[in-house]
Amino acid sequence: MITTNIDQAIDALINGEVIAIPTETVYGLAGNAFDEAAIKKIFTLKKRPFYNPLIVHIKSADYLHTIADDIPEIAFEMAKYFWPGPLTLILKKQKFISDFITAGKDTVAIRVPNHPVALELLNNLEFPLAAPSANPFGSISPTSANHVFNYFKKELKVVLDGGVCEKGLESTIVGFEENQLILYRHGSVSIEAIEAKFGKVILATSNDKTPTAPGMLSRHYAPSTDTYLTDNVIELLKNFEGKKIGLLLFNKAMNAANVIVQEVLSENSDLNEAAKGLYAALHRLDNSNVDIIIAERFPDKGLGKTINDRLERAIKK
């Protein structure tokens, strides 16, 4: 059920239930991070393989040491600069943190969400919240309470409604190795914003069998409709004569035959606005009875990099 009743959400979490919560990135499927039964419920609901770790959401950077150990100084500095906000830090875990949260790794992912409802929740709880995005494994992330409800229906007793997510893309995930910043997932904080303040960020390498971060799986964030990504929409359209087509475009609508729906993400060419609307547009396209979705590649800078990363993982493989 969709509700704005925060007390109901608090009660459910204290009782070991899993609920959906709003954050500024996407909606999360949250449970008590110190309750292994609750954590297992998250995996079951999401049909998420156990090799995919979760993010631990804490109320402020002051609680970092309750989850992580041997925290490098730069992690505190980044936390101070970006939190509350869409940057997740990968740190050495405290011994007692459940292997289900970390997928057996000795590192744990942590962030402080920047959403008034999520923070109010955390401030009323005596435990942190473990949460992945509130979508079935591999599908498009939810950026509204309705998206979550449409995925889980009665399976979720509480979907706490905090409006449309302000950022609309998952958090950026960064770890630390020998004084080097490692990027595990592109996200709502651009690489440029991190590098301007903290120096060079190196991309983590991964393969599908042992993904360093599940967001790195080659197919993830995917609509059920076959999706293509291209630099030249007009050219690609020629391959699909007679098909019903949905377009996902950056800043301008197009005049073309067979195009049934078009989603233009930012007429002002604003990448933040495009990021915010990306998943909602994909949800609409996926539900619009088209045969295929064609997405245009975005400018390869700032959040355009994150949008392209998600579209790469949404395409037909």
Residue 99: CB partners within 8 Å, gap ≥ 6?
Answer: none
Nearest CA-CA partner of 200 in 183, 181, 218, 186: 181
Q: What is the DSSP string of 85-144?
A: SSEEEEEEEPTTS-HHHHTT-SEEEEE----HHHHHHHHT-SS-EEE-BSSSTTBPPP-S
Contact characters 28-57, ligand AMP, x per CB under 6 A? ------------------------xxxx--
**Nearer residue to ligand AMP within complex by CB, 4 or 50:** 50
Residue 215 within binding range of ligand AMP, rule CB under 6 A = yes
Residues of span 133-162 touching ligand AMP by CB under 6 A: 133
And the tokens for 114? Answer: 């920047």
By CB under 6 A, the count of residues binding ligand AMP is: 20
Residue 306 within binding range of Mg ion, rule CB under 5 A = no
* Binding-site member from 19, 20, 64, 109 for ligand AMP (CB under 6 A): 109
**Nearer residue to Mg ion within complex by CB, 114 or 133:** 133
* Binding-site member from 23, 102, 143, 144 for ligand AMP (CB under 6 A): 102
Report d(CA 250, CA 30) in Å as an integer: 32
State which residue has the least CB distance to ligand AMP.
213
Q: Which pairs with CB-CB distance under 8 Å and at least 24 residues apart come from 117-120?
A: 117/6, 117/21, 117/22, 117/160, 117/162, 118/21, 118/22, 118/23, 118/24, 118/28, 118/57, 118/162, 119/59, 119/84, 120/6
Residues of span 238-297 touching ligand AMP by CB under 6 A: none
- How many helices (H) and strands (E) the chain has is answered by 11, 16
- Closest separation between CB of residue 279 and ligand AMP, Å? 12
- Closest separation between CB of residue 20 and Mg ion, Å? 13
Residues of span 127-186 touching Mg ion by CB under 5 A: 133
Decide if 48 contacts 137 (C-beta within 8 A): yes
- Closest separation between CB of residue 227 and Mg ion, Å? 17
- Closest separation between CB of residue 29 and ligand AMP, Å? 8
Query: Which residue shows structure tokens 């700032």?
Result: 302
Residues contributing to the site for Mg ion (CB under 5 A): 133
Q: List contacts with ligand AMP (CB under 6 A).
A: 52-55, 90, 102, 105, 107-109, 132-133, 170, 173, 184-185, 212-215
